[in-house]
Amino acid sequence: MLFLCLPLLSLSQGQIGIKGGYIHYWFTVPEDGIQYDYNYSHSAYSINISLKQRTSHTFNQGLEIVYTNRSFAVKSSDQSPGGSETVDYSYSIGNIYLQFRPQFSFGSRIKFFVYPGFYFGTLLNSSIQGTKSYWHIGETKTNTINGSANDYYPNFEFGILFGAGIEVPVYKNLSIVYENNFSLNLLPVANAWGSEKIKMLNLNFEIGLAYTFTRKTSKSNTK
């Protein structure tokens, strides 16, 4: 990560910021014959640290380190003539992501920006509680789970995102930043309770502060 940040730090003008926000998220429901019932927590949040170019050009590089915390419960039932499988899990997951966000900025004092991007990340902390029940030709078995979700949620994620925002200066090099972004994971996340076709979608609402720094250049005196 340091090697990724060094090119941005070496630029004549850059910006560092911190943001926090609310995440509205949901899972897709494929038509695969499995019944899904989700209960989403409304307390999902994110904390971001950003590092960006801030030059006079329209296009600037940027990256962010993002921590997210989400909780949800899922019930799934897969019925067949010879048996069935029922899952009832409650998750709490904390992820850390590295997001690459090249930006297109417009405006001089008040800046508007849009960005496409991609990200990858991993589980930082997690927990799961629940049961998984099987029925097969008259035989029933139930497993109770209580502990880390490392074996029940992917440890690696990769996805794409798109966002837009506004940056308003408030004092010298300090600005308030507000932005929204939409992200979609491209790897399976629901193997523990359903189909590999299930994707997680996130809509983030973020606000924070950013400080723009300018490297000072030395002046030579002429006689």
pLDDT in tens, 97-112: 999 999 999 988 899 9
Q: Across 53-62, 86-95, 210-219, which has the greatest mean pLDDT? A: 86-95
Per-residue pLDDT, averaged over 89-102, amounts to 96
Whether residue 169 contacts residue 110, with contact meaning beta carbons closer than 8 Å, is answered with: yes
What is the C-alpha separation between 103 and 212, in angstroms, rounded?
Answer: 15
Q: What are the boundaries of each domain within the chain?
A: 13-214
What is the C-alpha separation between 149 and 190, in angstroms, rounded?
Answer: 12
Q: What is the pLDDT of residue 124?
A: 95
19-42 residue pLDDT tens: 999 999 999 999 888 999 999 988
Whether residue 208 contacts residue 19, with contact meaning beta carbons closer than 8 Å, is answered with: yes
Rg (CA), the chain: 22
Q: Cα dist. 62→5, 13, 99, 158, 211 in Å? A: 9, 12, 9, 18, 14
Cα-Cα-Cα-Cα dihedral sign, residues 219, 220, 222, 223: positive
What is the C-alpha separation between 122 and 124, in angstroms, rounded?
Answer: 6
Q: How many residues does the chain have?
A: 223
Q: What is the pLDDT of residue 53?
A: 84
What topology does CATH give the domain 13-214? Porin (2.40.160)
160-170 residue pLDDT tens: 999 999 999 99
Answer yes or no: pTM beyond 0.95. no
- pLDDT score of 50 more than 80: yes
Could you give the angle at the alpha carbon of 110 between the alpha carbons of 105 and 114, nearest 5°? Answer: 30
Residues 6+ apart with CB under 8 A from 132: 85, 86, 87, 88, 89, 142, 143, 145
What is the C-alpha separation between 132 and 193, in angstroms, rounded?
Answer: 9
